[in-house]
Chain A
Amino acid sequence: KNEVEQSPQNLTAQEGEFITINCSYSVGISALHWLQQHPGGGIVSLFMLSSGKKKHGRLIATINIQEKHSSLHITASHPRDSAVYICAVNSGNTPLVFGKGTRLSVIA
């Protein structure tokens, strides 16, 4: 079974800072997902990637398949970015396996 580790568990940043959240997994995957969860529970899919790099606005996700590692970067962070960021992976037809999440607080 794939093990997914995220770091850091908690992160506090000042508005405008560049933020990096890391995700490592133990077994080869077919896709890695970055998810965002705001207080109240709803989850938003930010990225789904299997190689390289994707960018959406101020968010960038990268993955290194050989090293079994992915990073989520937030540029010019803003208080509205405060949320829990969750990494999840799946292999073939297996269901998603989730990391414990990184709780981000961005202070104005």
Chain B
Amino acid sequence: KAGVTQTPRYLIKTRGQQVTLSCSPISGHRSVSWYQQTPGQGLQFLFEYFSETQRNKGNFPGRFSGRQFSNSRSEMNVSTLELGDSALYLCASSLQMNTEAFFGQGTRLTVV
């Protein structure tokens, strides 16, 4: 059974650009959550989607957005990138909300 797949694995962008990250959940999983991990702040929740609807949103600026498609795949977008957006972005999928989460390998974003 394939795990959670995140693409791309690594990304380098310039300040002011925008970026789109992709997450394909485990087949049959309907809940997808996104997290940002930095050395200073640790893991922080970005948003959670279930059946194409955003169910929860973390305390991040509006430059961070996401969506979920009918096949449960999810994307997150960061516009007007800042140096502080450099981080590991992790996606996790689960069968339902608040059930065991399975994480992807993450996308490491570097903003220069």
Residues in A lying within 8 Å of B, measured CB to CB: 30-31, 33, 35, 40-45, 48, 86, 88, 90, 92-101
Contacts and interface: CB of A to CB of B under 8 A. Distances in A.
B103 A30 contact: no
A36 to B, nearest CB: 10
Contacts of B35: 96
Interface residues of B, number: 25
Contact of B55 (A30, A93, A98): A93
Contacts of A100: 42
B56 A41 contact: no
B98 A90 contact: yes
B42 A41 contact: no
B100 A42 contact: no
Contacts of B56: 93-95
Contact of A96 (B33, B37, B55, B88): B33
